[in-house]
Structure 1
């Protein structure tokens, strides 16, 4: 049948009708809120390039997580650490009392209904800002695996619910899975940053995490933005090595990758709505160019519609409050 028998506008006539037939809807359970934890006490440093986000000392972060749950109904967080000192390899993150390990213990002591995802990477912990050990001017893949496995073990021992390697080294999921299993953490899942692109959207994050590379870039280990078949190979490899969830990062410029991954593999797919995507919305909203609240909902809906089961986003708290 065709017009005038078929009138598609019939199902758009009222809000109640539109709500009833909506195909995709984002809810609080889909979202993870990222946080940056730093040394000190009573510290809440504003991140200029990410309005509304802060570097939190552990004591204030505990209170912030409580508020996230109570005011926004968001129960899942992702932690990044800013250490007291950095080194050449990132070994500082493998210590029992590393900054994120201390934060996890403090949060778990006071908050029972929170799921903590712990990022595993070396860029925040190395003096050079790269994601692994430098040999002859480039990140040495296999030496870096040792540090990543050690960091994952420290985080799991501290009580992390999910381990999330973001480094993009070959074989990192297998190395971490073996370390976790050998260490008695067979129940701890791995959320692999499987298709992580060498993107220009990470700038504000590098301000927040103090992790900008001191030389060169990360294009020898993060993916080229023109590649999509390669993303499927990366995801397939991570699944084979033991990943329980796989991630596409960034999200908005890579909705096609999210869709391909979801339609190809029977596994939960995570999308990271990254700092640059967040900050562009904030800048446009501050200038009155957009309806910020509506745009946030539209963006998150598009990511879920593309196939993401879980969305990591700096919009999580405000979305949860306003939903």
Structure 2
């Protein structure tokens, strides 16, 4: 009797020590069915979210006459209606120049914002200088300044300096209004880097520039990469700044497509194919670096 009691007690204690309660068969079935149902719902939502993109692709590969006569979903029964002639016509127009104008605006803006913001964020996070906290509060305050109130003053300034309507003028405007958020994001991430790493580098005789390039910059790659994605997408899809500060010769894709809508109204073949061409690079960028979006949104939120 004593032996049986001891055995039961040891079995109960071992079960408590393991910390993993045994689940019934019904509980296991519920877990599996629930997980599968969630996955099915997520897949359905993802496919539903891609329906407009699929419709845009189909419309861009059919003639205007077919698009006016039928819905895009009829392509599943009439695949022979698909053609690449719309894209050939698009690339033979002014769209190609506007595409490279978009690249010439977006790439320098993204590089400048990342470079300037990373150095400023390191200074705000780990360097002690007079007025550091006040300067950072000013940067944070600039986050609430709307772009619209700066359009007329900056346009007047650009006109007096002779850069109005040029690509450098558009780039400078995007850089100026992209820096406050970039500095705020990177500074919050850099503060979370262990101070012992920086102190060890200083004890080894490393300069501030060496510490920034060898310690802080590599450790900050997740936040820097996510910032680059955000900034790239914002500038790539911008139309307001392009409408105000870019002339016809330097117009990006967004302004080019807007001008096509104004001139032709129902020019669906140009608008649909141009819209899908402008959508390709952001989609590729998102799917290639989507893991950085979550890390970037969480940067500095947990210390």
With structure 1 as the length reference, what TM-score do the two structures score? 0.24
User: Which structure carries more strand by proportion?
Assistant: 1
User: Which structure carries more helix by proportion?
Assistant: 2
With structure 2 as the length reference, what TM-score do the two structures score? 0.25
Of structures 1 and 2, the one scoring higher in RCO (CA 8 A, sep 6+) is: 2
Please say which structure displays the higher CA radius of gyration.
2
